[in-house]
Each structure stands twice: as structure tokens, then as C-alpha cells.
Amino acid sequence: MLLHIIARGKIGRSPEAELVDRYLRRLTMPCRVTEMPDRGGKLPPAGPGTVTVMLDEKGKQLGSVDFARRIEGWRDAGTRECQFLIGAADGFEDAERANADLLIAFGAMTWPHMMARAMLAEQLWRASSIMAGHPYHREG
């Protein structure tokens, strides 16, 4: 299953970009990052067998194990691609939210898109380590 991060805004050469790269290089699942302009532009199409996860302040706050189990379930069900959408400063419209399969939030606070991207990359690595039974994640 392809993990596809689609993010509004450019991350450029920054400490956050280094974190994103560090975690995504560790993934054993294929991963792609698509950057979109802050406004406009067409999202990559969500073809058959695609799950759309939107990072949104109105989303569910999942624990890391729950997040990993969702990804594992989609993978095992034959999902071809999981798109993770990160919005610009104004977030997403209600119509866009309605089209997502899952809304998730990294807590009640608002995060800059660069930090959200780094946190998502880390959680994808953590999820893959949980699925593989690797000791990186510790419950406690």
C-alpha cells in the first residue's frame, strides 16, 4: 500500500524537512510526498482502492497503536493507496471534510503545516514499527 502525504505549502530546506526525510527513509512501505500551493491546484486523484485521511482540528485523536491498526487494516483489506491530506493555514472546508474517510487531529492545539508533516512522518514510521513488532513504540 502506498502512503501518500499531500500537503499544502512548501517545506523547503528546513529542520522540519530533515525530520520528515529522516522518518520517511525508515519506512518499509512505499511513500510519496506531494506538495501543493497554499491555494488552488488540483489534488491528486483518489483512485479506486484509495483511503483519504485528513489532518484536521475537528478530527479524532487516535493513539499510536490505534493509528497503526487502522493502517494495518486498510493494508490487509487490499487498499492500494492511503492519502494523508494536510491543509494550509485556513484548514479544510466542510465539503472537503465530508469526502474524507477519516479525520484525525494531533491534539486540540493548532500546528503549523511543517510541524504537522514532521509529526505525521514520525507517526507513519511508528505505525510501521508497531505493525512489524519492532520495539520502537513503548506503551506505558
Q: 57-77 pLDDT, tens per residue? A: 889 999 999 999 999 999 999
Q: Residue 124's pLDDT is what?
A: 97
Q: Dihedral sign for Cα 16, 129, 105, 140, please.
A: negative
Binding residues for S-adenosyl-L-methionine: 55, 87, 106-111
Q: What pLDDT sits at residue 140?
A: 56
Q: Could you give the CA distance from residue 34 to residue 44 in angstroms, rounded to a whole number?
A: 8
Q: Mean of the per-residue pLDDT values for the chain? A: 91
List binding-site positions.
55, 87, 106-111
Please tell me the least confidently modeled range out of 27-31, 46-50, 123-127, 135-139.
Answer: 135-139
Domains of the chain, CATH where assigned: 2-132 (3.40.1280.10)
Q: What is the C-alpha end-to-end distance of the chain, expressed in Å?
A: 30
**pLDDT higher at 121 or 137:** 121
Residue 106 has pLDDT above 90, yes or no: yes
H/E element holding 42? none
What pLDDT is attached to residue 95? 85
Angle CA 116–87–63, to nearest 5: 45
Q: Where are the alpha helices (DSSP H) in the chain?
A: 15-26, 64-76, 94-99, 113-132
The pTM for the full model equals 0.92
